[in-house]
């Protein structure tokens, strides 16, 4: 497998969205080092990649927030932990993880975010009742984008 400039940009986006400060990737004679702290970044790619400089990373967005759209009604916004494609069900044709009216706990899986063919669980992060599912199945979501609104409580 070889990496191109677009692959490196996607890896950089994932690094920025993660809690990690540094990434070292070695495969098939390739070594790629990325850092979020502004230190020198090295790559042994055979072709120069112009987008290997690191920008200051934004503050990480927590998966759960009470600010914004749902705060007027006391609702909690469950946000995407990653940039990727949001799926409501574990597989096509299977029932969704959650529906409006369902009770969720902090560890309840509300969906899957696909990033570079890897499936990552998105969890509720709050206990309560699902009031609205904002994220659209099969659509790209940004890091921090609202996926679900939950009314907290028992």
Q: What are 40-87's pLDDT values in tens digits?
A: 444 444 444 444 444 444 444 445 444 445 555 889 999 999 999 999
* Residue where one domain finishes, among candidates 14, 30, 58: 58
pLDDT of residue 72: 59
Q: Is 21 in the same domain as 72?
A: no
Tally the domains of the chain: 2
- State which H helix or E strand residue 16 sits in: helix 5-17
pLDDT score of 61: 40
pLDDT at 118: 86
pLDDT reading at 17 higher than 80 = no
Q: What's the pLDDT score for residue 154?
A: 62
Query: What average pLDDT does the structure give for the chain?
Result: 78
Could you tell me if 91 and 145 lie in one domain? yes
Residue 19 pLDDT grade (very low, low, confident, very high; cuts 50, 70, 90): confident
Please state whether the predicted TM-score (pTM) of the whole model is above 0.75. no
Q: What is the mean pLDDT of residues 116-126?
A: 91
Give the integer Cα–Cα distance in Å for 100 and 119.
23
Pairing of strands 109-115, 84-87: antiparallel
pLDDT value of position 47: 42
Do 102 and 53 fall into the same domain? no
- Alpha carbon dihedral 14, 19, 20, 26, in 10-degree steps, equals -30
Between residues 48 and 118, the one the model is more confident about: 118
pLDDT at 38: 56
Q: Which domain covers residue 48, as residue numbers? A: 1-58
Distances in Å between the Cα of 68 and the Cα atoms of 24, 28, 146 are: 37, 46, 10
Edge-first strand order for the sheet with 84-87 is 118-123, 109-115, 84-87, 139-141
């Amino acid at each position: 497998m070889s990496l191109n400039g677009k692959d490196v940009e996607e890896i950089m986006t994932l690094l920025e969205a993660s809690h990690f400060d540094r990434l070292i990737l070695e495969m098939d004679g390739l070594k790629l080092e990325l850092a979020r702290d502004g230190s020198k970044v090295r790559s042994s790619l055979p072709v120069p990649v112009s987008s290997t400089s690191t920008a200051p990373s934004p503050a990480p967005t927590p998966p759960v927030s009470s600010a914004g759209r749902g705060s007027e009604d006391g609702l909690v916004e469950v946000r995407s932990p990653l940039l990727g494609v949001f799926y409501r069900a574990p597989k096509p044709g299977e029932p969704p993880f959650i529906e409006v009216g369902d009770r969720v706990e902090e560890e309840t899986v509300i969906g899957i975010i696909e990033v570079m063919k890897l499936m990552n669980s998105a969890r509720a992060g709050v206990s309560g009742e699902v009031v609205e599912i904002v994220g659209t199945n099969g659509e790209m979501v940004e890091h921090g984008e609202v996926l679900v609104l939950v009314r907290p409580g028992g």
